[in-house]
Structure 1
Amino acid sequence: MLKSGANKIIDEAVKSIEGADRAKIKNQCFKGLCPNLKVQYQLSEKAAREAKPVAGLHETGKFHKVSYHINPEKIWLTLSKGYQAFDSRISTFKDITNALSNPSVDMIGICGMGGIGKTMLVKEIARQVKGHKLFDEVVFVDVPQIPDIKKMQGQIADELGLFLCEESESGRARRLYARMKEEKKILVILDDIWARLDLETLGIPLGDEHKGCKVLLTSRSRGVLSREMDSEINFLVGILSQEESWSLFQKMVAEGDCIRNHDLQSLAVAIAKECAGLPIAIVTIAKALREENLFEWKNALLELKRPSWRNFSGVQAAACSTIELSFNFLTGEDLKSTLLLCSLMGYTYHASMLDLLKYGMGMGLFKDVNTMEEARDRACPLVHKLKACSLLLDSHISEMFAMHDIVRDVAISIASRDQHVFTMRNHVVPQEWLDKDTLKFCTAISLHKCDVNELPEELECPQLKFFYMYPKDPALKIPDKFFAGMIELRVLDLTKMHLLSLPSSLHLLVNLRTLCLDQSVLGDIAVIGELKQLEILSLSSSDIEHLPREIGRLSKLRSNASLDELKHLSRLTTLEIHIQGAKILPRGLFSKKLERYKILIGDEWDWHGKYETSRTLKLMLNTRTCLENGTIMQLKGIEDLYLGELQDVKNVLNELDAEGFLQLKHLHVQNSPYILCIVDSVEGVACDAFPLLESLFLHNLTNLEKICNGRLTAASFCNLGIIKVGNCNKLKSILSVSIARGLQQLQVIDVTECKSMEVILGTEEERISSNQEIELITPRGIQKCSLTAEAATNEITFSKLKSLSLSYLPSLTSFCLVNYTFRFPSLEELTVRGCPSMKIFS
């Protein structure tokens, strides 16, 4: 379409031409045979007069662009078919839209596993921001796995209605750059990027070059977004809830018409559940089952529960193919090997980092490591990278991770195809697993919660390196010669079995590095002493009366469960152990060389913790044995400490660690009637208490009078983020105002069922006037200084406090009796209940 200026010039030029044509006709006589001299003279004078206007038209008509291409509305931008607004994604949707409205943000990333719905989400975002006039133009580019710059430049040009005639990438980039600069506000979506893209090479202006241009990226890898593309804000798109999965499934199966059939209802629910919240699986499977009969539905469920380990076919094909693509793009064999090993683990929904370490060490996955701590340092970054690629997931339990069911199925299929792995979960083990040709090349066998009626006398698996079995029948008998044909075995895990004696063929496993007999009932295990190469022996949660002397022959063992021998393991740097009773602890049991540990003493502790720390100690001290043996003092750098039933301990800090628990991050104290105070520095010496503490939990301390008593340094409690107090019936206040001033990291205060609690913040000092000097305790000593104008106002700001909960405190009168002004700029949740005496806040 011509621009308006060009149209005007053309109209005037046409008039001039038409006038010239008419003059040409008049400039003839004798039927056109001779020129008319009189008319020619008149025309020459007229031409001279009109020469200047024509020259003016010529100059005016010099346009940089005389027309523009009409850009038709994009089909993808006008159609919203297929998008469904899920409750779990509404907040993410709003946050992304808000980020796009933020003038200081020009690049935003969205990450998630393949098939999770990232593309559908960004297209809907584009539709809404365009509809709400947030952007004048929106460009969508489907990025190839191997970037083709010219092809991508062509996509951008098509979206902008621009024809690129340049051959070079740089020339095309200049044209695109200039075209995008014409748009006041433009959004460029680069969908499904796998590696770094140079936006300048593409021709996309950003930052100071074009303040109105923003880029929205999607990727399966969080690392690509944050490290390679320097995306400022990244959002994670997770799996759907069961309710959302069922809703989507019904919508895809013709609005649920066919599944109103009673026979199909239960099958449909089961199939939707097997899709495990992955939209691509739900959509493709639901569409495939439209109008199908009952037998097809049953077969689909069977395929989902028992997928083909050799290839991706049937209802799962589309979902599995997109996951395999993510696997193929992993850089480094160590990442691929780690993911395949994770798929063989029994509990993939709550997979233990410790199990991965045990298996990985045994399989030789972590090269050039000498200790478990070094192995952990190697394994943690691998798991982190796999999470960043959306192939592993976070677990709500520290020291654990999770694996999506379909990712696990794909990994097992790859391992089966490429490494001859055999695995079964929750099913009857078929007879074909005993096929000699199959076993001849098999490198790993994993049988989790399977029905195994009877094991063969011997399995001939000359290349087998990994064997895991957790049978449904714990009494399953293992024949004596069962392991004779597994000479290359490196990892053996027999979980939840009753083993009165171990098979004699176990001594033939000369290459065995890791042996796990967890959660089992064990009898005679003396044959373990013949495993000269054994490095890791795990007897976690097993029932065994005593360990045989033969274990002392295991010179290469990295960890051992014998309490008496722990003291003599000079190389031991990592220990995880649960001891039921403190009375059986030998003196000087724990070495100061321990760099990482999880030690539980007492039978009431839960093994899993809420926080991910490298040094955890949980003590149920119904005896003074641990205190007399110096158990706490032996261990260096405790980060997570649980204390219960402390005997004759009145002051936690002074009596248990005079240095002040300098590295402690989390403290839990419960069920200890003797405790009067957590910190006591009444002798006048300023106490540097808990400088790194992030959370403090106090429960059922019936005689606790004060949490802190006496002077504290400025560093004390300075990192405290959570404080929860319950059933401490002699406690009248939580902390003093002077300490509260320093709690700039505090996010949660939760106080419940403390009968004597009068105020949350008490005052040990007199009210300070505006011209008064105060004593400031610093590392250099006690210094006197005047109050600043801000401090003189008696104003305290809890800048990060999000939740304040006060429940069932019958004596509570106010938050603080002294007339202070409190500010809570970040408060999101305030709960006050069961506080009948509370009339004012402060």
Structure 2
Amino acid sequence: MEWFRNLPALREDPVRAVLISTADLVGVEKIDGYVRQIRDFLDDDTVRILGIHGMGGVGKTTLLQRVKNNFHDIGAAQRFNHVIFVTVSRAPEILTIQEQIVKQLDIKSTSSTEYGTDISQFLLNKRFLLLLDDVWEELNLHDVGVPTPCAENKCKIILTSRSKSVCCKMGTPRKLLEVEPLSESEAWILFKKNVGGDVDLDQRDQEICRHAKAVAKKCGGLPLALKIVGRTMANAVSVGEWREAERNLTRSPHLVEDMKEKVLSLLEFSFDRLPNDNTKQCLLYCCLFKEDKNISITELIHYWIGEGFLDSEYSKSTSEAEDRGKTIISSLISASLLQKGDKVDNFSSRDLLDVDDSDKYVKVHDVVREMCLWLTSSESDKYGKFLLHPGMNIDIISDLERWNDVIVCSEFFRNFYTKMRQKYVQTW
């Protein structure tokens, strides 16, 4: 069953997905890669809209700002009368979007109620490049007053979104560009750059360097996280400081300065936008798997069924519940909260899906996983708790009275709970 490829939000054909390293976006390497793709889009008269998607903090806005600030270098100045940059944001308001356009184009309007008409008349018979940043849902450009790009007016739109499906709804079925996290080596370069010259990690002793690399790895290749954590560690010159930073990012990433407010909370908004509580529970459950683990889709769905996450009055059979689980996985991938897994050879688990290896597994990005653990921790208390700290010894768990509403996991963790019952038999 090649359901993974046939879902509308994930279908690769006719979409041409282009993967661009965010190293290009933050100055770690040359920007030739992404400039070439943008130029190709501008040169292609058959494609009017380009959708850029990827998880929060990966560098989509930075890419769009580069297009705006360097439009002469990419040939936009010769092609368009106007380049317009609009931040759409999480709760888009037509009036707010119109105000940004009116201000940038210096349109003299007598009333805000006339913005739509004034924008439409101003852009009539003009070639424009509209840059829409941070699009969370389908936006009706007609309501804004923006003419629809077509072959006749030669106008184009580039938009960014965390959701691949939103890009498709906005009319980008032929051209999608996915911005991926940095590789480990690229992330290390960016991390060192933000730590600064006061702490020369290349010249420090090996123990500091080892902890520093572990800290950088915990940022999951996200430029935003690497910058925040790197700047936080700018004055850390002792082994103890770096060891504590690694420990905090492993156990409690929200304790790192600005990590909660600027990174975890950024991803939390994507989490809050999920359609229902069952989908949220399904994502939170994924944080119980080991870091960087390729999770079998078949097994994951069966665990969800066992936990009751897929129960519904409309699900009358296991096969219907499995279909619902597949739909949830597709929505989580589309929202950039789950990733397609890597190719796995000689995997011992029983898989029932007759698809390529890359479509049999999913992964949780490191920082998304940290966000899930934070949301289910006692520090957050916003969602149900999991009585588990992956990778940690059970001896560290204490204060069991705080775990009144604990979500008990399925047979997958039966060995863990057997040990827990043996250790805390009197309080269980």
- TM-score normalised by L of structure 2: 0.79
Aligned residue in 1 for 2:94: 149
Q: 2-side partners of 1:484 and 1:378: how far apart?
A: 40
Cα drift, residue 374 of structure 1? 2.8
Tell me whether 1:468 sits opposite 2:413 in the alignment: yes
Helix, strand or coil for the counterpart of 1:146?
coil
Aligned residue in 1 for 2:406: 442
Aligned residue in 1 for 2:244: 299
Letter in 2 for 1:160: L
Aligned residue in 2 for 1:421: 386
Which structure shows the higher strand fraction?
Answer: 1
Residue 108 of structure 1, aligned match among 50, 72, 95: 50
Aligned residue in 1 for 2:305: 361
Aligned residue in 2 for 1:164: 109
Q: 2-side partners of 1:298 and 1:384: how far apart?
A: 38
Cα drift, residue 241 of structure 1? 0.5
Residues 306/436 of structure 1: CA separation in 2 closer, same or farther (3 Å cut): closer
Helix, strand or coil for the counterpart of 1:212?
coil
Cα drift, residue 430 of structure 1? 4.4
Helix, strand or coil for the counterpart of 2:68?
helix
Residue 393 of structure 1, aligned match among 332, 339, 362: 339
Q: Is the 8 A contact 1:142 1:192 kept in 2?
A: yes
Aligned residue in 2 for 1:266: 210
Q: 1-side partners of 2:234 and 2:316: how far apart?
A: 57
Which structure shows the higher helix fraction?
Answer: 2
Residues 332/477 of structure 1: CA separation in 2 closer, same or farther (3 Å cut): closer
Aligned residue in 2 for 1:334: 278
Aligned residue in 1 for 2:220: 276
Residues 470/96 of structure 1: CA separation in 2 closer, same or farther (3 Å cut): farther
Residues 255/376 of structure 1: CA separation in 2 closer, same or farther (3 Å cut): farther
Cα drift, residue 439 of structure 1? 3.4
Identity of aligned residues (%): 26
Greater relative CO, 1 or 2 (CA 8 Å, sep 6+): 2
Residues 105/261 of structure 1: CA separation in 2 closer, same or farther (3 Å cut): same
Cα drift, residue 393 of structure 1? 0.3
Superposed CA RMSD in Å reads 3.0
- TM-score normalised by L of structure 1: 0.42
Q: 2-side partners of 1:334 and 1:253: how far apart?
A: 40
Cα drift, residue 156 of structure 1? 1.2
Q: Which runs of 5+ in 2 are unaligned?
A: 1-23, 344-356
Q: Is the 8 A contact 1:153 1:172 kept in 2?
A: yes
Q: 2-side partners of 1:147 and 1:410: how far apart?
A: 25
Q: 2-side partners of 1:155 and 1:296: how far apart?
A: 45
Tell me whether 1:325 sits opposite 2:269 in the alignment: yes
- Of the structure 1 ranges 152-161 and 233-242, higher mean CA displacement relative to structure 2 is found in 152-161
Q: Write the mapping of 1:771-786 to structure 2, written as runs, cut at 5 A.
A: none
Q: Write the deviation string for residues 449-495 of structure 1: whole angstroms up to 9, x where unpaired.
A: xxxxxxxxxxxxxxxx7872667xxxx96767978987xxxxxxxxx
Q: Write the mapping of 1:107-146 to structure 2, written as runs, cut at 5 A.
A: 107-131=49-73, 132=75, 133=77, 134-146=79-91
Aligned residue in 1 for 2:347: none
Letter in 1 for 2:334: A
Cα drift, residue 259 of structure 1? 2.2
Letter in 1 for 2:213: V
Aligned residue in 1 for 2:369: 408
Q: 1-side partners of 2:84 and 2:419: how far apart?
A: 65
Q: Is the 8 A contact 1:129 1:135 kept in 2?
A: no
Residues 348/468 of structure 1: CA separation in 2 closer, same or farther (3 Å cut): farther
Aligned residue in 2 for 1:240: 182
Residues 346/96 of structure 1: CA separation in 2 closer, same or farther (3 Å cut): same
Q: 2-side partners of 1:232 and 1:384: how far apart?
A: 20
Cα drift, residue 224 of structure 1? 0.8
Helix, strand or coil for the counterpart of 1:412?
helix
Q: Write the deviation string for residues 415-461 of structure 1: whole angstroms up to 9, x where unpaired.
A: 33221223212233344x2423123332246xxxxxxxxxxxxxxxx
Tell me whether 1:202 sits opposite 2:144 in the alignment: yes
Q: Is the 8 A contact 2:120 2:145 kept in 1?
A: yes
Residue 180 of structure 1, aligned match among 110, 123, 129: 123
Q: 2-side partners of 1:222 and 1:229: how far apart?
A: 11
Aligned length: 376
Q: Write the deviation string for residues 298-328 of structure 1: whole angstroms up to 9, x where unpaired.
A: 32222111125xx675352221111101101
Q: Write the deviation string for residues 304-353 of structure 1: whole angstroms up to 9, x where unpaired.
A: 11125xx6753522211111011011112222121112222346530111
Q: Is the 8 A contact 2:248 2:256 kept in 1?
A: no
Q: 2-side partners of 1:321 and 1:99: how far apart?
A: 33
Q: Write the deviation string for residues 798-817 of structure 1: whole angstroms up to 9, x where unpaired.
A: xxxxxxxxxxxxxxxxxxxx
